[in-house]
Amino acid sequence: MNKVKISKTAIAIASLLVSSSALAVKYKVTELSVTPNHKQSFGVANNDVGDVLSLAREGINYPFYFNDYLLNSSSTLLLNCGVTQEELDSEAFDAASADCLVTQLGSSSTYRYNSNYQKIGDDKTAYYGQNIEQGILNVVDVIDPVLGEYTRSNIEQLKAINNSSIAVGTVTAPYSMETYTFESDSGNTTYDLFVREHDERAVVTDGENVTLIEPSYSTYGGKSFASNISDTGYVSGYESVAMYSVYEQEIADNCTGESFPANVCQWSYTSLEDIYELRATVWKVDSDNQVVDQVNYGLAFVPSETQTRNYKSVATSVNDQGIAVGYGDVPIGNSTTTISSTSMPLVFKDGEVQKILQDNDNFDAGYAIDINNSNIVVGKVQKYFDGQFNDSMFVYDLDMDKLTLPTVFYIGSRATANAINDNGFVVGNGEYEISNASTRRKHGYIYDTNTNTFNDLNDFTSCDATLEIIDAVDINNNNEIVATALKTVQSIDALGNVEVDDDGNDIMVQVPVAVLLEPIAGGEIESCADEVVKYERKGFSNSLWMISFLSIFAVIRRRFL
């Protein structure tokens, strides 16, 4: 990405051009419409110079290989999806068949973990800004000679971007189709198998040049993962440092290559199980985005002889001083005999792992998600009751060793903090709806640690806004916020065609969209006539299943559970 700066003066001038009616609100909301070939988008990250990242999902017009996995007459996949012989002969599926095939191949364990079947990659990063061309960023995917286009078989998620426009995240290698011949006494058998070079890799990119960070332990590929990058070049994440001993001999015994390709056999293990010991890591990259130093952090405890589980630690964010935060496994009750563990928020500093909660402070789990340059940490802690984990956002002053649990929306609202900027503003999501339901609707919020004031971000938008902000994911030092909102749109099918009902009327659905919230100079909270039913006034009707689904992505920028 070119190092083009967008000045605050330019932003201020743009704000003055907003209509007088819009100046009655605190934030201008811009939908990041840069993913026209995907049905959903989620806010991810932004920096101070105008770069914004989002995540695109549910792509349309997937390309398909027409080979053994489809053409086998006994294929249950074809039966399940109602694929006709006419579609196979023409190599063109209708929308229903294409949608079913993508769903089955991408979600069903029968096909997802079987190397005989095509692989589907549904997560791609999109860029919004002025430094490079807006739209989907291709990081490591390749043009397939059979498909004649990108394989769309891998995952590419950039998680953060610093003020030098250097982004980090994780990618998996694209799959390629290779033909294998197996010899036996009864004759040779040929198969088409889908294989790839590696699983997760931490990636550093400026939009043109791509650097993959190889893990310290790379047997059978290994894993590395990047979650954030500071302006000083520190990168947080995790990597494989060893193989979990349970699998080492098993893979060696079973993946000999005699009856099946060794690399495919090994892939089956790495896809199904977490076979590696994963440890929080902070890398240092230079101006060419090459790793010049790294520190591997261990666990927050020393496992006893009986504690033989595959424990891990993860760094989710890092500041300019190289201080990282995240989470890691801790024995329940801090026992030296119990095998079971829970995740607890951790600080990774000067080669040492520090607990934020002492003796767990009566919490059942917790995750540190972000840290600013004043060493203020945010995240969430959890208490388990009524059959589920209940989240409370926290703010932790590392220098003062002080933990606070601010109330957002109302006492008892389940909430998490996703990011904090150097001005002390925290953004996240929490339940605004008061009900006895196990799943309640959520809104994005902003919290000022300086004044201990909290606001629903939907209060800062216009009374006639058609977007409902359900999650605030990142905030830069201009107080510009990247968020995810719900929007009502015309439904489109797997081929991109508008869907209609039996009467020919457009089918309307709610989808998540990435948005950017920019503060308006002199803006005030708009007084709405229907203030008592504020959230109904905008025509919102987000279903509980949608909110439950979206909660998976609540902290998609930095939390990797």
pLDDT of residue 46: 98
Distance CA 479, CA 423 (A): 8
Helix or strand holding residue 468 (H, E): strand 468-475
pLDDT of residue 450: 96
Successive 10-residue mean pLDDT values, the chain, 561 residues: 39 35 71 91 97 96 92 82 93 96 93 92 93 92 95 97 97 93 79 91 95 94 96 98 89 83 85 87 96 96 90 97 97 82 95 88 91 98 83 96 93 93 97 77 95 95 90 98 96 94 92 96 76 41 45 40 36
pLDDT of residue 54: 97
SS3 (DSSP) at 472: strand
Distance CA 58, CA 45 (A): 20
The conformation of residue 79, written as its DSSP 8-state character, comes to H
pLDDT of residue 339: 85
Buried b (16+ CB within 10 A) or exposed e, 457-492: bbbbbbeebebbbbbbbbbbebebbbbbbbeeeebb
pLDDT of residue 4: 38
pLDDT of residue 523: 80
The conformation of residue 97, written as its DSSP 8-state character, comes to H
pLDDT of residue 437: 66
CB 265 within 8 A of CB 353: no
Distance CA 420, CA 370 (A): 6
What's at 121, amino acid-wise? Answer: G
pLDDT of residue 493: 94
pLDDT of residue 340: 87
pLDDT of residue 405: 95
Give the predicted TM-score (pTM) of the model: 0.88
Distance CA 478, CA 471 (A): 19
User: How large is the angle between the packed helices 245-254 and 262-272, nearest 10 degrees?
Assistant: 150
Distance CA 374, CA 426 (A): 13
pLDDT of residue 360: 61
Contacts of residue 309, Cβ cutoff 8 Å, sequence gap at least 6:
329, 339, 340, 341
